[in-house]
Structure 1
């Protein structure tokens, strides 16, 4: 139990280091790839992100969705790309090669669609090599480049606001 606390403190320190070192890339390039991080304990409908990709004119092969859950993997047989706290080690180390591959993908836009303040979710978002990060209101505003203040259940509003702001930023 004590080691779990030390591990969490180590990961928080690593997260703060990542957020302090982050450089925002400002480009006018169009959105061609989209990554989505969601909390499976809060929302399990990934089809709505296909509609977001269609709205942003992102091809289905350029859309990658991963989920995180506090539950054990044996309980999550219906979801292929689902990760849990056991996939994370000390100092932000990722133990799962598929998750590492997602994090190393240079998405044009990364959507962090979760509301709960979970350290591992923030680590995934901060560690991602995405060019532009969009999320809903969270406790740590440094994680995302654009924060759209909506509720998890208001996905249509999130989708229209995302489209509107990406249009303003000349990314669509």
Structure 2
């Protein structure tokens, strides 16, 4: 229990360091690749993310979706790429090579679709090499470049707002 607290503290310190060093670089490059991180404990309908990518005209081969669960049982979900607490180490270290590979991809846009305040989800968002990050309202506003204030249940509104702002930013 004591070690768990120290591990969490080291990860929080690393997260704050990442967020303080982040340089926001908004340009008008067209959207080609899209990465999505979501919490499978909060939302199970990952097909809606595929519809979102179609709506904003991202080709299926340029879409990558990963899920996170606080549950340690990896076999309870049918989702292909579901990561959990055991994939994270001290000081923000990622133990899973597939997850690290996802975070190293320089997506044009990363969508972080979760409400729950989970340190590991924040680390995934912060460590991502995505050029532009979009999310719903969270406790730490430094995580995303564009925050759309909706709840998880209002996915259609979120989808329309993402499309609207990507048009305004000349990304589509």
* TM-score band, normalised by shorter chain: over 0.9
Aligned residues: 172
TM-score normalised per structure 2 = 0.98
The corresponding residue for 1:23 is: 23
Measured against aligned partners, the alpha-carbon deviations of 1:153-172 in whole angstroms (never above 9, x if no partner) come to: 10000000000001001111
Check conservation: 2:74, 2:82, Cα contact below 8 A: no
The 2-side partners of 1:147 and 1:101 are apart by: 25
1:1-172 superposed matches below 5 A: 1-172=1-172
Residue 72 of structure 1: how far off its partner (Å): 1.5
The 2-side partners of 1:165 and 1:14 are apart by: 31
Runs of 4+ residues deviating >2 angstroms:
73-77
The 2-side partners of 1:48 and 1:146 are apart by: 20
The 2-side partners of 1:131 and 1:140 are apart by: 18
The 1-side partners of 2:59 and 2:133 are apart by: 19
The 1-side partners of 2:50 and 2:15 are apart by: 29
Residue 27 of structure 1: how far off its partner (Å): 1.3
Check conservation: 1:73, 1:82, Cα contact below 8 A: no
SS in 1 for 2:13: helix
Residue 74 of structure 1: how far off its partner (Å): 3.6
The CA RMSD over aligned residues, in Å, is: 0.8
Measured against aligned partners, the alpha-carbon deviations of 1:64-97 in whole angstroms (never above 9, x if no partner) come to: 0000001123443411100001100000000000
